[in-house]
Structure 1
Amino acid sequence: MNARADDIAVLVPANASVIPLACIRSLGKRGVPTVVATDDRNVPACSSRYCTESRLVPSPNDDLTAYKASLLSLAERPDIRTIIPVREEDIYVLSKFRSEFEEHVSVIAPSYGALRSVHDRYRLVEIADELGVSVPETRLLDEVDEWDDDLIVKPRFSILTSDYVDSHLTSRIDNMRGETTFVEPGQKPDLDAIDRDMEGHTPIVQEAVPIEHEYMYSGLYDHGEEVASWQQRYLRRKTYGEGGSVYREAVFEPELADAGRKILDHLDWHGTACIEFMKDANTGEFKLTEINPRLWLSVPCAIRAGADFPYYHWLLAMGARERIDPGYELGVATHSLYGELSYLKSVLSEDYPSTERPSVPAACASVLASCIDRPQFDYVDRTDLKPFVKGLYNAVLYSETLGIAPDRSVEEPISAPN
């Protein structure tokens, strides 16, 4: 990278999630200009008062090559110092094409080899097991002959690209995080349906671990050395049976830190990663679930507690690592209002065989009580209300009932918000 005195802005690829919005607010409140790159002009991040500028780019899911070219073109601007990856597509592009981006910006991303190990859940389990980190029993689907226990079938790869699956289109990248099948004891799953969902690759089968609580360890690493870390306990998930956290609190568990560090140290990690663990209700062990090689959906909770990872990324890119203060306040909790509604919807209408469904009155009372007791929310910021309003508007406008798709026409820059 050619260092320049006027390199002052951060490029933030954005989708409809809260992650890019959290980055923009974090940096904007500290006076760091942000440039949003998005394939949908209606994402809430573009409505933030802290968004300096927004640019339309192709969708990485429709044309990965065109997306990479657009991102690289923006990185060539003299005012862009670094890029904060918020999606799997972003970290994949930055890691695979590191040498091209490094000519223009500071790339805070893992090596391509480390990223592939993280995206391959079967390989990741092998690595963790070799390091002495507890993992669920894991096999490839074609190695399973009996279905006598509670089992979970999930994609081997968290994303699909032609690098991972030969039959996949070179110009596409597909996120596989949602394709999970829960199998009750004695019931053989529909293998043909699973094969169609996996789009050409063999999935993994894992034991269903009895869960006491779910946790996350997150770390920012500088070429194999931890710079800052964060831990949270999940208090409620997107559904009563699975999904990301919609209500969580800041914690610190020494054993969790040890397990997370073993993996990232071994991978010689560079950048941010969050590692999800299950605490086994029978053994008390922290068992690895998966790794997200980027910022995570509940990063607003970390920022509120003082672990400001978007700002840490900026400082690391600026060569100011010594200014990073890695501490955070324990007990801080936040909610995703959209997520809480999704949780209540699951209690009303969804079925997860391996998880007991809570009663509707109990679920409603629990959500209401926690929102009153700890009224901190991911999207809601009194200094920046437009993104929350925009998110509500989008939730109605893009509903499946109306059948309206996001506006992804790439014609002109989006005007910066007033």
Structure 2
Amino acid sequence: MKGRILVSDACRGAAVATIRSLDRNGYEVIAADADPRSPGLASRHAKHRVVYACPRSNPQQFIEDILAAVDRYQIDMIVPVTEQVVLPLEAYRARVEQVCRVPWAPEDAMNTVRNKNLTFQLAEKLNVPYPRTQLVDSIDEALLHCRSFGWPLVLKPSSSHTLSEDKPVQVWSVDYAHDEDDLRKKMKQFEGHCSVLLQEYFPGAGVGVEVLAHEGQVIRAFQHRRLREVPLTGGASSLRRSDPLDPALYDQTREMIKTLNWTGLAMAEFKLNDRGESRLMEINGRIWGSLPIAIAAGVDFPTLLCELTLNGPPDKSLPTNLDYRTFVHVQNFQKELSWIIRVLRGAPKHPVMKMPKRSAAIGAMIDLLRPSYRFDILSLRDPMPGIRIMTNLVRSACQAILGPLQRRKQSGRDPGYARTPIASEKLSNQEPLAGAESLEEAQAK
């Protein structure tokens, strides 16, 4: 055994891919998540399972649960998968570092990639193209600058996640405004809470250049392209493909990593149009959602990250490894279903983007059956996470269908039902799953 690794966010496809990869390469894996029904907790590649408090709503208890798990299983290293886990770990960095390792990037570098305004200042310094941008803090400022951009206008929070002492982790998402009234409405959610970058809209395909680096030197590199996204206007990829490294994008990424003196994993996300023009969108300083495509193409970033963190960097005289399989396709089953449903319902017209026709949904259905296409989580070699996904989907569908019927039925029996909340004694008396319990202990309760 090379070491004991705790992998957080076992509900995510990137986490499941990490769990499988590390176990195959000789690590003992502890899968962890806030949801006891998480698919990754069912993987045969997980030696132990841990249920922790929700890191977003209860970060203090989450840390206590993580530290208890570290002590119980003698964990050597934590691999945090999402920003909602990274932020609490960073807030309690001194306590965490006393008991195990975490693949931290330098603090100032992490602050730069987390704050998109600082990211674009870095890009400007290195002559990396990025969308024309204006930082604003209020509705009035946004209205003052919007006329110089044109429509639609991208509203990008300066940070996608924030954590303060008196509040849980807050998540901020990119939005779009199509006119001044829409801008005024969309800015209300940010005003007083989070600075916003007004950006010109740059159409193009989403391209990610992913690297593992040590002190600014790239050790391994990979590139993928988003083929389908959810929502349709842009978001997480439901289908992606491994592409050859674009020399210009790779050089830009390498220069940014070098300037940041970056250590660990990172992904530079670009938009690339049909004319070959590109714009930097952001730098992701942790494991990214499309990680399974890199592993499927032969770039085992999780194992390389653990080797770097636990054993140190390879010989600096060795050249950067740029070899991997290209044109490998990997799908996220749940997001592909969502994409198909959205297209079949009829995508609303967009002032700039070309929305897919309903016939495109047929092609997506065929892709789900292609033997050469892989999935983030579904796997015959490790079937239980996929079975759990199907079970969770059926449960959610039943709740969506039966919930309104039950409410209407109850409302018919009791005219006051709609305006009188019903407390569930069972739920109010249920103990939370805390204390870094193993899944087996949680289920035994």
Q: TM-score, normalised by structure 2?
A: 0.82
Q: State how 1:187-226 maps to structure 2 within 5 Å.
A: 187-197=180-190, 200-211=193-204, 213-226=205-218
Q: Which residue of 2 aligns with 1:415?
A: 440
Q: Which residue of 1 aligns with 2:336?
A: 340
Q: Which residue of 2 aligns with 1:385?
A: 383
AA aligned opposite 2:194: H
Q: Which residue of 2 aligns with 1:376?
A: 374
Tell me: CA distance 1:216–1:82, structure 2 relative to 1, closer, same or farther (3 Å): same
Q: State how 1:20-59 maps to structure 2 within 5 Å.
A: 20-59=15-54
Q: Report the secondary structure of 1:294's partner residue.
A: coil
AA aligned opposite 1:301: I
Structure 2 residue 165 is matched with structure 1 residue 173:
no
Shift of 1:409: 2.8
Q: Conserved in 1, the CA contact under 8 Å of 2:2 and 2:26? A: no
Q: Conserved in 1, the CA contact under 8 Å of 2:157 and 2:196? A: yes
Q: Which residue of 1 aligns with 2:411?
A: none
Q: Which residue of 2 aligns with 1:360?
A: 358
Q: Which residue of 1 aligns with 2:256?
A: 263
Q: Report the secondary structure of 2:269's partner residue.
A: strand
Shift of 1:15: 4.4
Specify which of 278, 283, 286 is matched with residue 291 of structure 1. Answer: 283
**Structure 1 or 2: more helix by fraction:** 2
Q: Which residue of 2 aligns with 1:396?
A: 394
Structure 2 residue 231 is matched with structure 1 residue 239:
yes
Q: Conserved in 2, the CA contact under 8 Å of 1:182 and 1:353? A: no
Stretch moving more, 323-332 or 305-314:
323-332
Deviations, residues 391-413 of structure 1 (Å, cap 9, x unaligned): 121123245626799x9633642
Q: Which residue of 2 aligns with 1:74?
A: 69
Q: Conserved in 2, the CA contact under 8 Å of 1:95 and 1:111? A: no
Percent of paired sites with the same residue: 24
Shift of 1:158: 1.1
Q: Report the secondary structure of 1:161's partner residue.
A: strand
Deviations, residues 291-313 of structure 1 (Å, cap 9, x unaligned): 22111122111111110111111
Shift of 1:99: 3.6
Q: Partners in 2 of 1:403 and 1:49 — Cα distance? A: 34
AA aligned opposite 1:308: D
Tell me: CA distance 1:378–1:408, structure 2 relative to 1, closer, same or farther (3 Å): farther
AA aligned opposite 1:124: T
Tell me: CA distance 1:220–1:32, structure 2 relative to 1, closer, same or farther (3 Å): same
Deviations, residues 242-299 of structure 1 (Å, cap 9, x unaligned): 11222111121111111111222211112111121001345x2221111221111221
Q: Conserved in 2, the CA contact under 8 Å of 1:109 and 1:272? A: no
AA aligned opposite 1:293: G
Q: Partners in 1 of 2:352 and 2:433 — Cα distance? A: 43
Number of aligned positions between the proteins: 400
Q: State how 1:91-102 maps to structure 2 within 5 Å.
A: 91-102=86-97
Q: Conserved in 2, the CA contact under 8 Å of 1:84 and 1:313? A: no
Q: Partners in 2 of 1:101 and 1:225 — Cα distance? A: 26
AA aligned opposite 1:409: L
Tell me: CA distance 1:46–1:325, structure 2 relative to 1, closer, same or farther (3 Å): farther
> Can you give the 5+ residue segments of structure 2 that lack an aligned partner in the other structure?
405-426
* Higher gyration radius (CA): 2
Shift of 1:198: 5.7
Deviations, residues 314-369 of structure 1 (Å, cap 9, x unaligned): 21123164399663212222111212112122322543443122210133225525
Q: Partners in 1 of 2:183 and 2:171 — Cα distance? A: 22
Q: Report the secondary structure of 2:375's partner residue.
A: coil
Tell me: CA distance 1:301–1:339, structure 2 relative to 1, closer, same or farther (3 Å): same
Specify which of 258, 266, 269 is matched with residue 273 of structure 1. Answer: 266
Shift of 1:381: 1.6
Shift of 1:414: 0.8
Deviations, residues 198-221 of structure 1 (Å, cap 9, x unaligned): 66123111111121x221011112
Q: Which residue of 2 aligns with 1:3?
A: none
Stretch moving more, 352-361 or 265-274:
352-361
